Structure 1
Amino acid sequence: MYSFHSLKTMYPYAAPMLALAASEIVLAQDRAALRFKTDGSFKLSIFEDLHFGEAEDLDWGPKQDLYGQKVMNAVLDHEDQQLVVLNGDLITGENTYLHNSTDYVNEIVKPLIERNRVWASTYGNHDSDFNLSRSNILAREQTWPNSLTRQDVDTPTSGVSNYYLPVYSADKRKRCPELILWMFDSRGGHFYQQLDDEGNRVGQPSWVDQTVVDWFQVTKSKLRKQYGKDIPSLGFVHIPVSAMLAYQQSQGPQPHYEPGINDDVPLDQQKQDTPFMEALLDTPGMMALFSGHDHGNDWGFRWNSQLPGMNLTGNGLCLFFSRHSSYGGYGTWTRGSRQILVTEESLQTLSFETWNRLETGEISGRIMVDESYGHTYYPRVNDTHTSLDDSPLEPQ
């Protein structure tokens, strides 16, 4: 184990907060691989659209960030997870300054460091702008030893947060992962420090790039060859795929069978994502893909048909939104965090349980995602709202 002073030397950006958890931090290389608990369970918590860094020079900007931390604390106090996923739009890049744009990473991960949680990120459209670089966010994340975020595809067009994480059984004699977590970068926003001939920021495409699709296809084939089977998996990407828009505009989520709020209509989706969707459908064992981006939606559905306007036919892949998790970004829907609970037993039938833990401590939209999903009757999700003035969270 490293000393506090050696940690400060190795991770200089982390130094201001190391004192909070110097006795708790476990370096990634000293931490065991992600594993199911001895009871056979593995739980993830998703924090979506945190949007730290808005209006730092005004009173309400820092207050939003403070209450974003409070949402995270409320969720972390109620849920005992083995991994936290920060699923895009960590920072509102268009509001940040060049000299401190990635400092907000320290604020975001503070509740995780204090509890010695490990996390993994994808990046969203607001994580790229003239004063904010995805690569710099990654570099800042990696100063923290509990970050599992990395870059496995490094091309000029691929984005940054494309990688996978294996999750192993608690039984260390088992060498094959029980679960694979795929992280994808849907890009978007604006290129870092680039202006066109007229002095305008240069836009970045807002979909998973073909180079990433190619990497995904090759990597999952290598895993299949290495372990002799298709391993159950879950995927995470910030901007939802076009199938979600097609479903919303046709049948739409059914409140008692696919419970969730559906207030962002029409939702904003990836723009040229047919190759990505084809690759997802061509992945045996891929159970679900989780997205955010549209703050007023937290529903999901099982894609098992050809949706209007699409030439792809779903094979049962589930697509879910996660709950907006912070006071940054637009909207006043009650904040929360999607939870995912898988067990080694449930993986035999490619099923899992999911729900949203709200900032109030309440559970919203708890469902079992198995072969009956879409046919089982559930209570309707309440469409509730809060603001900084009437937040259920305790003031500081």
Structure 2
Amino acid sequence: MMMMSPFYLSIIFFFFISLILRSILTVHSHDQREFHRKISLRPTLPEGNTLHVRPGSSFKIAVFADLHFGEDAWTEWGPQQDVNSIKVMCTVLDLQHPDLVVYLGDVITANNIAIHNASLYWDQAISPTRDRGIPWASVFGNHDDMPFEWSIDWFSSTGIPPLHCPTSGSSPSESEGGKDCSFKGTTRLELMMNELKMNNLSYSKLGPKALWPSISNYVLKLSSTDDPESVIAYMYFLDSGGGSYPEVISNAQAKWFNRTSQAINPNSSVPEIIFWHIPSQAYKTVAPRFDAHRNCIGSMFAEEVASQEAEMGMMKLLEGRSSVKAVFVGHNHGLDWCCPYKKLWLCYARHTGYGGYGNWSRGARILEITTQRFSLKSRIHMEDGSVHSEVLLSSTASEE
């Protein structure tokens, strides 16, 4: 048999090695493509919708409701209320050090704001949070984009309107060149665009364009810094109308919630927390005035529930998801309770602002999420620093 030279043996050796490497790389490349294909099929949220918490630590949320900035802005009383509201927020923020602030609607009283861009007052309202470098998220209330209402005091013999209107025309709204004295209000879209434009700490979102109303319907994800794919909780924010819309969560919004929750949390394995401004009609059933459910927790039952105009299916969806732990609303300044409903909790925030009706003491609702073994706790933090109405909301609420 003819012996091959070392040169030819080396060529054959390298040839076989290259075939083996090519086979390995092909399999590896296929596996990588398949892995990334499977990852891409998973329903995910954009990175801008994700908040992070360190493993083993808790995540704290301060809820500010019904601030009503800009109310009676032409009087001495009005601006002073905004100063008082800022003091309440600063007290809560400096004592609680939250990881996120939720502005739960009626941030401004737009129907009292006699300027073309009400975002100036919105910016004042979020300034305590922004100045401390704390992220926030917001939803709209019924006063945030209401059209301006002329004050009758402006037309009295001693009234001094804050603006000089054109003299022609029989009324300010009919005056020539009317834009100087016609305040149509700042739309939800304008308010949201102005908030997002200069604030990189805002997690507020515009929402899907196909929805009606489309602004401030979105979901945020809370994940661990060590494992972003491991979701701790989903937080849903919905626009409950009012102002330029009926006071209702529409059927379209309910369908959006259903599609979104089924896509990102199909097995209801991840806890879900819900925020909107105007209480649903279910709030009337759990705590009618002066006859609260015996398991309700809270210090204030000072008025009747002022609910949405109709129920369009949202509550039925929430009742059917075991992952939904609690719904948080504002709107009623005299209520701050949490009551069990079906297998979840219905909760009010605490009236935070000095604007708006009522003289009850101000404060904020505090939520605390523990991550190692999920729990959702809540309490009310008052403007004088006192704390009350602590409740564990991750436990199964009592059947009605």
- Tell me the TM-score range normalised by the shorter chain: 0.7 to 0.9
How many residue pairs match? The answer is: 316
Structure 1 residue 221, shift from structure 2 partner? 1.2
How far the C-alpha of 1:251 sits from its partner, in A, is 8.5
**Secondary structure of 2:265 counterpart:** helix
Does residue 215 (structure 1) correspond to residue 256 (structure 2)? The answer is yes
Residue in 1 aligned with 2:92? 75
Match of 2:315 in 1: 277
Aligned to 1:338: 365
The equivalent of 1:52 in structure 2 is 69
Identity of aligned residues (%): 29
Match of 2:391 in 1: 367
Name which one, 1 or 2, has greater alpha-carbon Rg: 2
Answering whether residue 300 of structure 2 is matched by residue 261 of structure 1, we say yes
Q: Relative to structure 1, is the Cα distance of residues 344 and 284 closer, same or farther in structure 2, using a 3 angstrom cutoff?
A: same
Aligned residue for 2:236?
Answer: 182
Contact 1:253 1:300 survives alignment (8 Å): no
Partner of 1:118: 135
Q: Does residue 1:154 correspond to 2:239, yes or no? A: no
Asked whether 1:237 is paired with 2:301, we answer no
CA shift for structure 1 position 371? 3.7
Q: Deviations over 1:273-308 (max 9, x none)?
A: 24011121122311000001000000011112xxxx
Contact residue 287 and residue 293 of structure 2 kept, 8 A? no
Partners of 2:289 and 2:125 in 1: CA distance = 37
Compute the RMSD of aligned alpha carbons.
Answer: 2.3
> Structure 1: which 5+ runs fail to align?
1-28, 192-203, 305-315, 376-396
Establish whether residue 43 from structure 1 lines up as the match of residue 60 from structure 2: yes
In the alignment, residue 290 of structure 1 is paired with which amino acid?
F
1:170 equivalent to 2:211? Answer no
Aligned-pair CA distance for 1:188: 0.8
Matched-pair contact (CA < 8 Å) for 1:163–1:184: yes
Summarize the Cα distance change of 1:256–1:283 in structure 2 as closer, same or farther, 3 Å threshold.
closer
**Displacement of 1:54 after TM fit?**
0.7
* CA offset digits 1:244-270 (Å, max 9, x no partner): 1122228833578523301112x1001
Once residues 326 and 233 of structure 1 are traced to their aligned partners in structure 2, the CA distance between those partners, rounded to angstroms, is 27
**d(CA) in 1 for partners of 2:301 and 2:285?**
14
**Quick check: 1:93 aligned with 2:141?**
no
Q: What is the identity, as a one-letter code, of the residue corresponding to 2:190? A: N
SS at match of 1:181: strand
Distance 1:361 1:63 in 2: 21
Distance 1:242 1:33 in 2: 31
How does the TM-score come out when normalised to structure 1? 0.75
SS of alignment partner, residue 142 of structure 1: helix
Residue type at the aligned position of 1:147: S
User: Quick one: distance in 2 between partners of 1:230 and 1:372?
Assistant: 15
Deviations 1:151-172 (A, max 9, x none): 222247324110000000132x
Preserved CA contact (<8 Å) 2:296 2:340: no
Separation in 1, partners of 2:357, 2:398: 30
Within 2, Cα distance between the matches of 1:154 and 1:369? 33
3-state SS of paired residue (1:125): coil
Q: 1:92 to 1:148 in 2, by over 3 A?
A: same
Specify whether residues 153 and 252 from structure 1 end up closer, same or farther in structure 2 by C-alpha distance, changes over 3 A only: farther
